[in-house]
Amino acid sequence: MSIDAVVITGAGSGIGRALALAYAQPGRPLLLLGRSQGALDETASLARSRGAIIRIAVVDVQNGAALDRVAEQFAQEFSEIGVVIANAGISHGTLAVEPADRQVFAEIVGTNLLGMANTCSAFLPYIPSGGRIAGIASVAGFRGLPGASAYSASKAGVIAYLESLRLELRRRGIYVCSIAPGYIATPMTASNHYLMPWLMAPDLAAQKIRRAIDKRRPWLVVPWQMGVLGFVLRHLPIFLYDRIFSRVAGKARVGSVSVGKD
């Protein structure tokens, strides 16, 4: 019985590395993508120690043509791809009143949203019926957060994109899972100097994410407590949401807000 090949973007650290280790097992082909050769090598070494067959590609997910080449090469070697996890993501505080943040905004949206679309488009031709695509969104995409407009907008777009993709691929028998992490203890959240409720270890988050993907669930918020909080936030009346978060907006400074969880 063959073991599904798995593709993971943003596999050099954080949730991506934890997912690579969650899927690593003897004989499983794993394609690890990221922008840092050194970080990918570290992940690869850990996954190989568990018996996985590792391939690495240093690539920026904003480069669709490069992703197309990587996908074709991997598929030529291992045929069909069972699971694609679009995890690559970046975060940085942004403020609309700062002209210098225009480029930062474009980079965040380009990586988090357009990069996910590029990833799915590149690997879709090689995913058979019964295959799975998972995208890493964020609870930050539930409502707009002051000081994090680019990140919130990109993750809100990711949630909508994955929902559209899920509906488009139903007839092909491909399952799409949208994952919305809360605070996960990764290098991205290490710079946060504020309370992070229900902070979760990345290996535990990865186990829960893999379980959801394996069960072909369409939606997961991890940890579950953030799902409850997210539900409340999504349904708060605008006047009440504005009253609560306007206090945060008054304290926001460019570069001081990091809400990334990828």
What would the mean pLDDT of 102-110 be, rounded to a whole number? 95
* Of 105, 197, 200, residue with least CA distance to 147: 105
Judge whether residue 70 has pLDDT over 50. Answer: yes
Residue among 151, 161, 175, 183 flagged as catalytic:
151
What would the mean pLDDT of 159-172 be, rounded to a whole number? 97
Q: What is the pLDDT of residue 259?
A: 36
- Residue 216, sorted as left (phi over 0), alpha (psi -120 to 50) or beta, turns out to be left
Please report which residue ranges of 95-237 form alpha helices under DSSP H: 101-109, 115-123, 149-169, 202-214, 224-235
Query: Cα(81)–Cα(262) distance, rounded to whole angstroms?
Result: 23
Q: What is the pLDDT of residue 4?
A: 95
Query: Cα(219)–Cα(180) distance, rounded to whole angstroms?
Result: 8
Under 8 Å between Cβ of 61 and 67: yes
pLDDT in tens, 144-160: 998 899 999 999 999 99
Annotated catalytic residue 183: no
pLDDT in tens, 107-116: 999 999 999 9
Q: What is the pLDDT of residue 92?
A: 86
Angle, to 10 degrees, between the axis of helix 115-123 and the axis of helix 149-169? 20
Instruction: Output the average pLDDT for the chain.
Output: 92
| pLDDT class of 221 with cuts at 50, 70, 90 | very high
Q: What is the pLDDT of residue 262?
A: 40
Q: Is 138 helix (H, G, I), strand (E, B) or coil?
A: coil
Angle, to 10 degrees, between the axis of helix 202-214 and the axis of helix 14-23? 60
What residue type is assigned to position 159 of the chain? I
Residue 173: CB atoms within 10 A of its CB come to 11
What does pTM read for this prediction? 0.92
Q: Which domains occur in the chain, in start order? A: 6-251 (3.40.50.720)
